[in-house]
Structure 1
Amino acid sequence: MLPREQDLELAAARLVAAASLRGVTLATAESLTGGLLGQLICSVPGASAVYRGGVISYASEVKASVLGVPVGLLASRGAVDPEVAQHMAQGTARVCGADYGVSTTGAAGPEPWDGKPVGRVYLAVAGDGQVFSVERNYAGDRQSIRQQAAHDALVLLSDALEDELSS
């Protein structure tokens, strides 16, 4: 289901609040969302206290040279891959000097990409010595897939931060 603009704004506000409460900084690595994730975070008042920045790594060469995704991994599996997403999240945290990184990579369409169907997306979170990724399979057009991925990336990182607070 396509998140409404209000859902996106609330998810971004929740993330900024969780990061502020925890006293950590954030960075984004975006491929298919093309800056939408960073835009949503920056729209929240007070985001400058927790958001260090992001890398829009649309091209595989940028994923490799800036974020440190292994070239061999990109060559063998393509950019739409859970391990690529993990390297992207780790790389953006390192490059931006943040405590946590979150990444998005996937096939937004209209055609499949790297042998992956339209709507296949990988999101990853890196921080606190851990990294994990999740697979999502969205329906809809290109914009809808991008919005769903941005929303879920915000929620995924918020959940990770809130889990850390409660443990």
Structure 2
Amino acid sequence: MLVEVVGKRLMELGQTITSAESLTAGLFVATLAEVSGISSVLPGAFVTYSAESKTQLINVAPELISRDGVVSASVAEAMASGARATLRTDWAVSFTGVAGPDRLEGHPAGTVFIGIVGPNLNETVEYHFAGDRQAVREQSVQAAFVLLDKFLTGKDA
């Protein structure tokens, strides 16, 4: 499984990781925690469902949220950067978007922004997934592991 590959690679490199999750509600970190020994590189993570928790826990600027909305590339980037800075990790992954079934901030269900910040890397990718809430959440987590595998190994996604 890709989660095993990513987890083992992080441990081999001795690089730490955290996450800031909104629509995935902790599914990414729960999935990563299935890897034996991952606690050596996973100090903790954040579930920041509300705009207020994004500000309070990982220092996302309220002005950014007001200007761009929580479902945006800029907020995904700020979430990852804030989580990384708070826990002083090598890597951070963030998830924000619309699991559905209703639209949010004008975005249809399935719109997801995944931010990844790491050594010499700051990238946010927009996705449009199909399915119910759980399917969108699972596809989001899988997409993040694909991106992490790409960035950790230098492979094309």
Number of corresponding residues: 155
How far apart are 1:78 and its partner, in Å?
0.9
Maintained 8 Å contact 2:21/2:46: yes
The one-letter amino acid of 1:42's match is A
> Structure 1 residue runs of 4+, over 3 Å off?
none
Normalising by structure 2, report the TM-score. Answer: 0.94
Q: Residue in 2 aligned with 1:145?
A: 136
SS at match of 1:139: coil
Q: What percent of counterpart residues are identical? A: 34
Q: Residue in 1 aligned with 2:20?
A: 29
How far apart are 1:161 and its partner, in Å?
1.3
SS at match of 2:25: coil
Residue correspondence of structure 1 range 16-165 to structure 2 within 5 A: 16-163=7-154
SS at match of 1:118: coil
Maintained 8 Å contact 1:52/1:97: no
Structure 2 unaligned blocks of 5 or more: none
C-alpha distance in structure 2 between counterparts of 1:114 and 1:21, whole Å: 41
Normalising by structure 1, report the TM-score. Answer: 0.89
C-alpha distance in structure 1 between counterparts of 2:81 and 2:62, whole Å: 15
C-alpha distance in structure 2 between counterparts of 1:113 and 1:56, whole Å: 18
The one-letter amino acid of 2:67's match is S
How far apart are 1:148 and its partner, in Å?
0.2
Aligned Cα RMSD in Å? 1.2
Structure 1 unaligned blocks of 5 or more: 1-9
C-alpha distance in structure 2 between counterparts of 1:26 and 1:50, whole Å: 6
